[in-house]
Structure 1
Amino acid sequence: LARRIRRGEVPMTDDDVHADRYLIADSVMADAGYHWYEVSNWATSEAGRCLHNELYWRGADWWGAGPGAHSHVGGVRWWNVKHPGAYAAALAQGRSPGAGRELLSAEDRRVERILLELRLVDGVPLTLLALAGLAA
């Protein structure tokens, strides 16, 4: 869609229209028993939430497996090749399917965590903001 908008094939939807549609979607989901817990996610219960995503948004460690999977442990983030064939070929040849890696500084991790926790219904803990000098 983004590519088609850039090429002028499809007009960009007005922000207010997006907001109205989001409110409609939230209402429909709530009527069906789903409760909003993250910008683009609803669940019928705590157990129905995506644990992997919640770990990601809160800056915890996680391991990803498979083509295109991302992992993060101790401030190191890495990701696998996206194409299933390339992933399988790497494994068959005894090579890592890793496509990239980055080391996050403590400041990078703190800023990323604040930005990602803004997505959550719970918001950002004041203690986290205080550590970043953003709360009194």
Structure 2
Amino acid sequence: MTVRYDFQNCFPRGHKSVRLARQLNAALNSVGGNERTFDSRRNTLIYFCCYVRDTDTGLRNFRLVTEDIIEGYICYRKNKGMCKRTRCNEMSVLRCMMDYFELYELKNSPRLTNTALGLTGENREVKKDRCRILFTG
């Protein structure tokens, strides 16, 4: 059974990073998108908040995010067993948030490119072929 997370459950009441969850929730609502995109972005941002909580980073405002925190989040998700495509999609969501908060220097940082994070080389066709074999054969 999977655990469903929500922004309100990311941090306990009175935690120093509660404002971060509220800020990301408001940004998510402003960015918008269709329902599936919105849900995917919401889940990624909730996982990011859980990373901030689990590592006791103390990030209170997304405008104060650093390259080290983003790199740490991608490594954290890799250690959780997330595939390369998932991490690439999550990085795309974080870049969208960097655009929203006008963190252009951070977004264009050479340390946060897909190549630098090790997120290149995943072929979508491989997964599609594997699914066809599973469902037809």
Shorter-chain TM-score above 0.5: no
Q: Which has the higher helix share?
A: 2
TM-score bracket for the superposition, by shorter chain length: under 0.3
Q: Which has the higher strand share?
A: 1
Of structures 1 and 2, the one with the larger relative CO (CA 8 A, separation 6+) is 2
Q: TM-score, normalised by structure 2?
A: 0.27
